[in-house]
Structure 1
Amino acid sequence: MSDGEKLAMLDDLEQSGLGWFWACDAEGNLTYLSRAIADRLEVSLEELLGHQIPAVFTPIEGQGRTTSLSLMISAHKAFSGVAVHASKRPQGTVLRLSGQPVFDQKGRFQGFRGTGADITEEYYREAETARLAKYDSLTGLSNRHRMAHQIETTLTAFKAAKRNCAVMMLDLDKFKQVNDTLGHAAGDELLKQVAIRLKRSVDRDSEIGRLGGDEFQIMIPDLDDRGDLGEIAMKIITMLKQPYSLDEGRCVIGCSVGIAIAPHDGVTREEVVRSADLALYAAKKGGRGQYRFYSGDLQNEAIFRRRLEADLGAAVEGKQLFLKYEPIVDAQTRCVQTLEAHICWNHEQRGEIDEEEFAAILDGSSQVNEVGRWAISQACSHAAFWPESIRVAVNVPVPLFSSSDFVDDVKEALKNAEMPASRLELEISEAVFFGDTTVVDRTLAQLFKMGVRLTLDEFGSGYSSLSYLRRAPFDSIKIDEKLIAEADRHDSRELGLIRAIVALSDALDMATIANGIESNALLASLLDCGVKQVEGPIFSDPVTRETVESELLGDNWQIDPSCDRLKRARRRTVYRKIHVIHDDHSYEVTLRNLSKSGALIQGLADVPKGTQFVVDLGGGQLAVATVIRSNLDTQGLEFEQSLIDDGSGGLCTRSRVSPYALASAGAPLAALAPGSYKAMEGGLLGGGASVPQFGYAPEAMNEPA
């Protein structure tokens, strides 16, 4: 074959795209490139020739270091199978380059000659296969295997670096109903929308995965602040419970979240994930739509809650329930217009259980309808003795509103109290509208015809729809307390929403009520928005029936706002053994009750006011507290830093002492134990004493009943 024929054959080969050629000089400058390559890359040949090879071709990430080509060329070593793209076209065509060094007869390096092949289709096919092995094909989130690998490698690295890492387990509530009623296609579309909302909810470095079905998992490195984690979990729950629009129809689901934090709740992946699973189970058992942190006494808390729920039936029979009333005030005149009823429980062993804790116990209980009927009847019987200008408001549980005899129950309560229907105001949650539309409309129409006033409660909580207001005969709208709280913190966007809600209610001839007001600045902003009625700690906490009747003896009950006044810290009756540490000695005491701001302990004698303790609530939860009251063997403590909600009606510290820190200080890794802490340099509080300063009261050794 002649040289001309060989050149023609090579030219045909280049033009076919089956093989391309390139060459560079000893300095690495490109001297030759098949025009077909330039055409395929959509770059002119003139823009490529004369430039350094690494400046023309860049190895694709994961296929080699960006300096590999220059290293191989400078080392005069042959190479093959390097996947590259054109530096000026980082997306699109993928080439595989091979090269051989060229030497002259005297062994002097002359440059490289090589070949190239278009592997675009093969490369992206393999990349997609690799992606599917790591990511969920439906949602695009990490799959179970990738999440396990990411958590495993992160925790291994973080253990050496003594860093924290949070893991959240998520489970969708009512997802099975969507699949059963709307079909699997709707279920798949719903999961895609859930994935999008999850990404929006977690606005920090994280790994989000779908484990299968309706289970999701989130890993958040370097975060152990349970206040921040609780806010993230609540944001997830709030976003996921908002309605979804699918081709097959509209649906609403919920979400429960369990949270565990390494190294507090485990060091290995298996330990941390198991802890998060237990917390998720507790959240679901607590009524769903909740988040829960892992703690070692989850089982004990569940038993405590079940006992209270079991006692609830006896509470109604034994007249242990009672009502407190929170004034709702006219925004302009400051005169009390309505008194909102709150249900409390005077438990025989646990003491008074306030309205918030009682509501958490009642939610999901089999007694909810019976308690709701009792509250309406009791409130009407009290209000019958008040001036006719004062109304009473009662919150209606969703199951009670949906019951077939609810309207008859209201009629009977009004009849027995001999009170006009116009003085009863029923607060109805937006959640009732997700029941049978026909039943809801009929019930509302009957109540309206009866003359009962209706308030749409928690407006702006996430379900809000103009269709409710258009078809339902509401007299007023109560703005969601969380939206009010956000307005107090951030001021601008939320106030704009409140202003829009007020304008909407004015257009529909409805009053607006804002509750939970704690500051004069917020009150002024709400008045500027046009809110008609207000309530909150700045006016009054819920008060007893006796206080109400005493205040209503005059012509008008007028309440001027006090100085900025936070809502009274809610106390939980706890009654369990804990440890408190003073200097370097630990004492076992009985924790009688607990609130965000303080605690009541019993067991130590002769403890002076001003004494500082570290309260060990277990699991690395240490809270610095000062004795502000002391009476014989009982001390009232005030925390230096407030506790936070654990998402399910309990309280916990914002942060915990790391097991690593305890170990380095000489304490056992598992937990703080009774006895001396002199092994810790300076003691936990920096004291130097090693002798107990307080003695035990005789009754302190008795176990809690």
Structure 2
Amino acid sequence: MSDKHSGLPSLPLRLSALQVIGLRDPGEGDWSRLRALQYAELHKVSVTRIAAHGLAAMLAVTLYAGDIATWILVTWLLGVILAVWNATRMDKALIDVERRGLQRSEFTRQAASVFGCTLPWVLALIFFVPQGSTTDHYALWALIAMLMAGSAASMASAPVAAIMFDLVVGFTGALSFLATGNIAFAIASGAYTLAIVTASFQSARTYLSAKIAEAGVAEKDEVVSLLLREYEEKASDWLWQVDTHRRIRSASPRFAFALGAEPDALEGQSFVRVIAGTYWDSGDFPPSLHELAEKLKRREHFSNLLVQVDMAGKRGWWELSGSPMHNEEGAFIGFRGVGSDVTEQRDRDDKIAYLARYDTLTGLPNRLMLTEALGDGLQYAEQWKTRCAFLMIDLDRFKAVNDSLGHQLGDKLLAEVSSRLAAVVGEGEQVGRLGGDEFAIVIRDAADRQRIDHLSGLVIETLSQPYKIDAHTLFIGASIGSAIGPRDGQSVEMLMRNADLALYKAKDEGGNSHFQYMPALHAHAEERRKLEGALRHAIANDEMELHFQPVVDARSEHIVSFEALLRWNSKEHGPVSPAKFIPLAEDTRLIVPVGDWVLREACREAARWPDEIKVAVNVSGEQLLEPAFASTIVRALAETGLPAHRLEVEVTESVFLRDGRTARQTLEEIMALGCSIALDDFGTGYSSLGYLRTLRFSTIKVDRSFVQGAAQDSQESLAIIRAVVAMAHSLDMSTTAEGVEDAEQAALIRELGCTKIQGYYFGRPMPAQEARSLVVKGRQAA
């Protein structure tokens, strides 16, 4: 049942002048609703106002066209248009005022907008009249008088605005005649103004009285409509009625059916007690039942009130509407209303609300709920002068599991991770999922700083334990970045951003660690941003350069190939370490255009060497996943004229983790061209004999860490090198030992059986010209 007219029938039909205008509250009833009755149809006269003011303004401009400068008239005309437009805009904003009630601020703004319409005409009377003739003065007053009459006739719904317009403009006109010495017309103008204002007031009183009477009839009709709803086809609606003691009277069959009882059995029982059910026995009432009881007690009309009910132990939700009833003498005799069971609808709404705030995969709070919790933590910290904390968690090596074993198993792993996280948080701490493999913990009160470190260590330890999922034993880790509020950020966005910077630092340090935010991280992030911007233009600015490190035959020590190594001499940042810009290029996918450039330049330089010397080019996983990477190699070979067998593509085992099938297919296409493939850093990453079984690598490169370990007589390193050499020999592959720095290490590598050697002992990475000279000297020496 609508509350549109609530409280209006009690308003008296006779109101004082100030009450009609709106400058004083009515003796009884609601000022907001009373004004809403007046202003509800104000927008309908907007077109009339626009037409009247527009026509009058054009005529006024025509009158004074020869007496006043054109720019002044145009400016004045624009002022009229602007004022009328503003008033019309304010009127349009009140279209729905009857439904919601008029606010005093809206009442003031509307009156002010109409006052704005008076200003151009007041200015015209003050400044135009002295410039024109007496005839023009009379004509201008006639135009204004018509506007005043139109205002009084059309704006009965906004009397304060109409009266204000008529008074201000009318008496200004009278003063203009007085200033020109026309006393008789000044008196006549003043009398006309008073007559118009009086008529405007009487019109407003009549209009408002009619609206109040109309609203009273509508209010009584609502009671009748309640009875009619009993006969609607919707079986979920029913009629209810209570007496002055809030006991059920004349229970309808549908109402009794909803309560699971007979109508006679309900007669005389307490309405609230019956629908409260077990809530009444326990004394633990839901807030909605308290609200219903209060409205019945205060004899207030209510509409579409959601009430939590209990019917024979089955709990649900009812939507109730009701109005107080009075007899012919005006005495209160009870309540009558309608209700319906909205339990199913409420359950759907609750489910939608749950989905909006919880992650469907893990059941943990989602990003929205975490940000709300963090905002609450910041408010709590500010109120009690304490600290809150935000921990951002990223799973290490999860992507490898997800890519190699599939998303379905990855989802199961995420669910297990969420269970472990939920088990480690304590009171006042909320864990949730931000998305993907990112989680977060909000600590509402982080006054104990050791709690952050302790909880972070506990999370890392807990998540690093093995997972047994679908006959797989999985190992992952966790990196954590934390920020403390309000020290590290006084807003949710700033705190989350700073925790993310700390997390990035933890990942950059190798992962499986916790890092707290420090202001220096901003400088690091800014440096990274600037470095990325410079890297995007490095090739175009001719800042990239290739250096070449020789690879020699272990027995003859003759150069058999060079490995192309990228160097960046930035004009803005100077020489930048590959350890810094290569990961940045991979993160931003700039490695694809940079890698293409390296490939072309390496092939172009190698084409100048003797035919027996190869060039090795490192290729990242991002490049291999490009659909047309094999075509890129074909173009590089065709442009430079380098034979395919002289190009060796070096990859690491990590390229098979993201999309092993695509990586293998691309490498097979490269080998079909005649190029050779080298497996770099073997034994340091995700070594698997499956790669060696499915792909015919030409070379396995033994990482420098094993070479250095063997030189220090590490039995593990020696055993690994021997195993790699034996395996490569059986698969008809060559082996290259990296990081050989002196003659003793070179002799050891020969003894272990490696076929090729690379390291500072035989040559550091050098510019292309030096590499060319080295090749020439080697030939001459031979």
Higher helix share: 2
TM class by smaller structure: 0.3 to 0.5
When Rg is computed on C-alpha atoms for both structures, the one with the higher figure is 2
Higher strand share: 1
